[in-house]
């Protein structure tokens, strides 16, 4: 009779262990199915770049922000998506939000510059490039942006001075050298 009791107890214990293991496995699988903000951000980039589906990318990025609202890279990315979708006011809101939290955020400044430059808002674009240069004085991309904005504002001599100063400091900078040549050529064509 004692063996029957042990066998019954062992069976119950064995069933309980199987239930616990099954529950842990199910819980583990459920936890893996819920993507985190980095996963959602990656999915949003895939939707934007591979699928060219900006509304889907915005939705995924917003879902990531609902989990991690202070993820500035995602706010900047949403701003870019809005820019690419011609929702400039929404894009500006995102960029301004990031810059209110992180005034020297190079990615947000670059993205915001691109928006303003593309829309012929050259004075604002120049301001953004200058803010970027205050935080990153030797940043080639902000030198290029500043020179482009100056050139667009028909301040050719200022644009050439900016590029010349940079080339003196960094003589191997091919992008700045090419931009300087382009500004020179444009200047020659306009005066001809």
In three-state secondary structure terms, 155 is coil
pLDDT tens column, 23-77: 555 555 455 578 999 999 999 999 999 999 999 999 999 999 999 999 999 999 9
Using the CB atoms, write b or e for 83-105: b if 16+ within 10 Å.
Answer: beeebbebbbebbebbbeebeeb
Crossing angle of the two packed helices 54-67 and 72-84, in degrees rounded to 10: 160
**Does an H or E element contain 67, and which?**
helix 54-67
pLDDT tens column, 69-116: 999 999 999 999 999 999 999 999 999 999 999 999 999 999 999 999
Question: Mean pLDDT, to the nearest integer, of 5-12?
Answer: 62
Question: Mean pLDDT, to the nearest integer, of 116-145?
Answer: 97
Crossing angle of the two packed helices 54-67 and 37-49, in degrees rounded to 10: 170
In three-state secondary structure terms, 102 is coil
| pTM passes above 0.85 | no
């Amino acid at each position: 009779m004692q063996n029957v009791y042990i066998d019954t107890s062992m069976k119950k214990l064995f069933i309980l262990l199987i239930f616990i293991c099954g529950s842990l496995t199910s819980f583990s699988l459920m936890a893996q199915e819920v993507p985190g903000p980095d996963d959602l951000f990656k999915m949003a980039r895939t939707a934007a770049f591979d699928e060219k589906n900006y509304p889907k990318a915005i939705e995924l990025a917003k879902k990531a922000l609902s989990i991690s609202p202070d993820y500035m890279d995602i706010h900047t990315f949403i701003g870019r998506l809005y820019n690419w979708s011609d929702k400039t006011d929404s894009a500006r809101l995102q960029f301004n939000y990031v810059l209110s939290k992180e005034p020297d955020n190079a990615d947000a400044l670059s993205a915001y510059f691109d928006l303003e430059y593309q829309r012929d808002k050259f004075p604002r674009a120049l301001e953004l490039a200058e803010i970027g240069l205050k935080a990153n004085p030797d940043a080639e991309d902000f030198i290029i942006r500043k020179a482009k904005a100056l050139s667009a504002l028909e301040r050719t001599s200022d644009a050439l001075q900016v590029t010349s100063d940079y080339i003196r400091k960094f003589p191997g900078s091919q992008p700045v050298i090419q931009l300087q040549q382009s500004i020179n050529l444009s200047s020659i064509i306009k005066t001809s």
